[in-house]
Amino acid sequence: METRAPFVIIGAFVLAAIAAVFGFVYWLHNTGGLGPRATYHVQFEGSVPGLLVGAAVLFNGIRVGEVTELSLAPDNPHRVDAAIAVTSTTPVRSDTKVGLEFQGLTGVPVVALEGGQLLAASGPVSTLIAEAGAGQSMTQAARDALRHVDAVLAENAGPIKSTIANLQVFSDGLARNTDKLDGIVAGLERMTGGGVSSGQKVTYDLRAAHGFSSPPERTLKSKLVIPEPTAVIKLDTQRFLFSPAKEYPGFAEAIWADSIPKLLQAKLLESFENYDIAHAPLRSMDGVQGDYQLLIDIRRFQIATDPEPAVDIGLSARILNKDGKVVAARLFQDTQKLDKIEPAAASAAFNDAFGRIAKDMIAWTVKAI
């Protein structure tokens, strides 16, 4: 008996030491280490997949404690209650945000705390409410999003099917009318002076009125300004226009030196300069103030082919004073017959008709102001 007693005492001591070590490790891992701890209750609305007792608690990414308890709420089957123990110096406030994060390749869940807006303690905090859907992983969130998309598609299957059918009908209509669409586009290009032509463009200029007596019989005694003439979009082009509209050989490559409104403004100013350069009017620009304005509206600048070919020019003119009052108004129009419809002959006829109109307009303007 005396020989066996020391062995029993030694064995009991070893077992007690082992139990103490395991108990210390368990306490250190689950209840808070060596410093003082604070315990909080956390409520999760929904599932918390993979969360275990002993899982880490992070505050702004720093580990501050562990999960000490998990249980199902007896009064709410959708809620999970958890208890966490964190270091007492952790700045948990009433507006601290609570959620789950999944770390590592295996997606180990941890409780994540984020600091709120309150800088000072707002009183004792015992329960933290996690945000809705805080326990969802990325996979679960993706599944929920796809489920919502499927629901939307299922609810709108009829309208979506009708839209696709209408698109099919529209594309079939475009396919059947491709030639017509090409013709419409080509017509718009011809009307606006656009498009690509295989031939080289031939530019024609309009000749200003000339042959006035020097010195002039009467001069402009007031400062006159001529703004750019107004016109409909059809006339704002460099192409030769026909009435009725038709394509003629040679005119596809023939263009005016500038758009018709700008060309008429430049040639009217040059005609006034040929009459009396010392008192010639100016362009309407910023900073230029005149006593009078000569406003031109282009009515016609075309080649008429019915009943016989002739160029046709029609300009409406008004003279306004500084107060915007119309002091004179007149319609100027002239025609010139064409022996043949070709660009050079048409340009010469336009020069003759415009020259007569410019001279009449200069005489009328000088007399009016």
CATH 3.40.50.10610 occupies which residues in the chain? 196-368
- What is the per-residue pLDDT for 120? 63
- What is the per-residue pLDDT for 354? 96
- What is the per-residue pLDDT for 214? 80
Element (H, E) at 349: helix 343-368
- What is the per-residue pLDDT for 1? 46
DSSP 3-state of 295: strand
Q: What are phi and psi of 187, to 5 degrees?
A: -65, -40
Contact predicate 206/267, CB 8 Å: yes
- What is the per-residue pLDDT for 195? 53
Among residues 235, 222, 214, which one has the least CA distance to residue 293? 222
Provide the CATH number for the domain formed by 196-368 in this structure: 3.40.50.10610
The amino acid at 343: P
- What is the per-residue pLDDT for 194? 56
Per residue in 181-222, pLDDT tens?
Answer: 766 776 676 666 555 455 688 999 999 999 888 888 888 888
Which positions of the chain have pLDDT values less than 70? 1-5, 23-35, 104-106, 118-123, 133-144, 179, 182-183, 186-187, 189-199, 285-288
CATH 2.40.30 occupies which residues in the chain? 34-116+125-133
For the chain, how many residues are written?
A: 369
Q: Which two tokens stand for residue 117?
A: 């807006």
The amino acid at 369: I
- What is the per-residue pLDDT for 122? 61
Count of Cβ atoms closer than 10 Å to residue 274 Cβ: 19
- What is the per-residue pLDDT for 32? 47
The architecture of the domain spanning 34-116+125-133 is: Beta Barrel (2.40)
- What is the per-residue pLDDT for 121? 60
Q: Taking every pair of C-alpha atoms in the chain, what is the biggest distance, in angstroms?
A: 157
